[in-house]
Amino acid sequence: MSRTTRRWMLGPLLALSATAAIVGGSVTAAEAATVTTTVAGPLNVRAAATTRSATVGRLANRARVTLVCKVAGEKVKGKVRTSNQWDRTASGGYVSHAYVRSNSSLPTCPAPVVPQLTVASVGPYTGPVVLGTVAGGPNGTMTNADFIAASVIPAQQSQREFRVPASVTIAQAILESGWGRSGLTVNDKNFFGIKCFTPVPGPISIGCHSYSTYEFVSGHYVATTAAFRTYASALDSFRDHGRFLVVNDRYAPAFAYTGNADQFLYQIWKAGYATSPTYVANVQALMHQFNLYQYDLR
């Protein structure tokens, strides 16, 4: 199946003060190389690296701001430049570098640490509750129930940052990876069939790997070869899935339905996420069978 790619999971949201000077906040050692500069405002401070994420502060023109690191996100045409770089402030929000009056280099923001938690995983039907430890996300050696349990935390983190319904993310991971047992997933930790469309596969993937696959063309499947993204971990794959949906404009209509998982799924399919005419029905069947809607954040 063909699908285009999005996603990016960032650090936890911290409260921001909408004052002229943004100061304070906890800065790790990896974020020590800070830059204090001014912005070409007025400029919204966002919860994530996209204009579609929540506004958590606002900076006036020439307001000073302390920046600690950078991430790749939505491409923005601003008053200073056009850029897909977003800068993390010392208080935890993100501002588009397109409005920042500085060319000073910032370090890349570290990936968020997913806490190791013990959670209750719901059985595949109405079976007993199974306890499983969620540390590195799902894998192909798990039972179906534990696969779902291990997918909940990264899927919900994606929803917090990028508003992709967790139920959609989990169901797509199940279908695309064959419960984590596909060759693409076992070898390259790619849970969503995200492809490489350029020599540089984005800031999260670590490379590309070619596989034989099928595309649905003119009413039937055609054998072909395609390059797919590779990852260092399952968590990176989940992050890239969310980031992909956010940074590719073709999926923007889906974000009008973040409170309606079924409609969100239909809109990304309509925009070209998959070519199979039964893709929506297949994903929705999983969402209903395992009651994945219960994991959507309200």
SS3 of residue 182 by DSSP: coil
Site of tokens 């989990």: 170
Contacts within 8 Å (CB) and 24+ apart, 136-140: 136/233, 136/234, 136/235, 137/233, 137/234, 137/235, 137/237, 137/238, 138/173, 138/180, 138/191, 138/234, 139/180, 139/234, 140/177, 140/178, 140/179, 140/180, 140/181, 140/182, 140/185, 140/186
- 99: which 2 tokens? 């409005």
Asked if residue 141 lies in contact with residue 166, where contact means CB atoms within 8 angstroms, the answer is no
Asked if residue 236 lies in contact with residue 158, where contact means CB atoms within 8 angstroms, the answer is no
Catalytic residue, chosen from 87, 161, 240, 296, is 240
Active site residue 176: no
Catalytic residue, chosen from 215, 236, 249, 296, is 215
CA–CA dist 95, 86 (Å, integer): 6
- 69: which 2 tokens? 């690191």
Question: Residue 124 corresponds to which amino acid?
Answer: P
SS3 of residue 255 by DSSP: helix
Active site residue 74: no
Query: Which are the contacts of 177, defined by CB distance < 8 A and separation ≥ 6?
Result: 140, 184, 185, 190, 191, 192
Provide the annotated active-site residues: 215, 240
